């Protein structure tokens, strides 16, 4: 990690009619960091990702990536500027094999463009990296949910992102698969990718993050190291208030 700010978000808001899904959220992420975005269901986490990746235009606020204002840019532009993302609700092309899904990402998401043969070569490597080496010619519908999430990760990586946004890619994994996924995220960071992830599994969040940002009802309520946020009364209240079964212990 270094001190260079890769992503800087200021006063970001998104309203859906009368609902403020994201309200005046500001934060920054340094190059090489692994930062988690957490918060109860409906807190606005995925909406933040949709704003960062250009799926939605913000109602207010700015997004700066690597020194460039990308506020309001369209998804393909944001992607080509170096933001790769996964979708919480997986969106593979159903008529394409796993490999073809990943190749499509390399062909359309990269600047400068690469050849089909290079895209294919890279896609084969990405399949292996995410654990789909033996599923290249399978159709997405024949994979389990965690398997489909692996396609999402490979497709996001195929654009060679500076910033990788992972939306709950570890839910539903077995403990062994979770350990593998954590190793993968760390290895991506070690190779220079900055990772911003939404995760509900607190053990993962606490084990992997350099920093954690907490949102609740669309607002940022805390930001800090794992220990800092886990001990923050506002965070504990947000979780205890909405998930009575959660305890502070489960956050640490
Ligand atoms: N396209 C949309 N139109 C209208 N309301 C939306 C839209 N997208 C999200 N919302 C609302 O915005 C709020 C935040 O939703 P969001 O999906 O960002 O939450 P989240 O923190 O990702 O939740 P979860 O943990 O369940 O994935 C919710 O009240 C949701 O119903
Ligand atoms: Mg979500």
What is the full per-residue pLDDT of the chain (252 aa) written as tens digits? 678 999 999 999 999 999 999 999 999 999 999 999 999 999 999 999 999 999 999 999 999 999 999 999 999 999 999 999 999 898 899 999 999 999 999 998 888 999 999 999 999 999 999 999 999 999 999 999 889 999 999 999 999 999 999 999 998 888 888 998 999 999 999 999 999 999 988 889 999 999 999 999 999 999 999 999 999 999 999 987 755 444 444 454
pLDDT given for residue 172 in this prediction: 83
CA of 168 to the centre of ligand 1 (A): 14
For residue 204 the two structure tokens come to 């993962």
CATH number for the domain formed by residue range(s) 5-82+161-251: 3.40.50.300
Which residue puts its alpha carbon closest to atom 9 of ligand 1? 47
Instruction: Kindly state the DSSP code that residue 243 receives in the 8-state scheme.
Output: -
Of the candidates 249, 246, 200, 206, the residue with the CA atom closest to the CA atom of residue 225 = 206
CA of 86 to the centre of ligand 2 (A): 11
Give dist(CA 228, CA 223) in Å, integer: 8
Q: Judge whether 35 and 46 are in contact, CB under 8 Å.
A: no
Of the candidates 145, 169, 22, the residue with the CA atom closest to the CA atom of residue 87 = 169
Give dist(CA 234, CA 87) in Å, integer: 28
> Number of helices and strands (H, E) in the chain?
10, 10
Which residue puts its alpha carbon closest to atom 24 of ligand 1? 41
Domain boundaries, the chain: 5-82+161-251, 92-159
Give dist(CA 170, CA 149) in Å, integer: 8
Of the listed ligands, the closest to the CA of 166 is 2
CA of 42 to the centre of ligand 2 (A): 7
């Amino acid at each position: 990690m270094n001190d260079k700010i890769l992503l800087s978000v200021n006063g970001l808001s998104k309203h859906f009619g009368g609902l403020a899904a994201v309200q005046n959220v500001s934060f920054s992420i340094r190059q090489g960091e692994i930062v988690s975005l957490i918060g109860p269901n409906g807190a606005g986490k995925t909406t933040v990702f949709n704003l960062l990746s250009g799926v939605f235009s913000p109602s207010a606020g700015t997004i700066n990536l690597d020194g460039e204002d990308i506020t309001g840019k369209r998804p393909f532009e944001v992607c080509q500027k170096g933001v790769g993302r996964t979708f919480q609700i997986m969106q593979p092309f159903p008529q394409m094999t796993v490999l073809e899904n990943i190749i499509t990402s390399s062909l359309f998401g990269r600047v400068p463009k690469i050849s089909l043969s290079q895209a294919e070569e890279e896609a084969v490597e990405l399949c292996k990296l995410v654990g789909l080496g033996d599923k290249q010619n399978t159709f997405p519908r024949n994979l389990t949910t965690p398997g489909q999430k692996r396609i999402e990760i490979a497709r996001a990586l195929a654009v060679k992102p500076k910033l990788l946004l992972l939306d709950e890619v570890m839910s539903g994994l077995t403990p062994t698969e979770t350990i593998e996924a954590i190793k993968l995220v760390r290895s991506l960071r070690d190779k220079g990718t900055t990772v911003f992830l939404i995760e509900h599994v607190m053990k993962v969040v606490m084990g992997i993050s350099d920093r954690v940002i907490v949102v609740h009802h669309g607002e940022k309520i805390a930001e800090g190291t794992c220990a800092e946020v886990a001990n923050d009364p506002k965070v504990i209240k947000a979780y205890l208030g909405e998930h009575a079964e959660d305890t502070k212990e489960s956050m640490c």
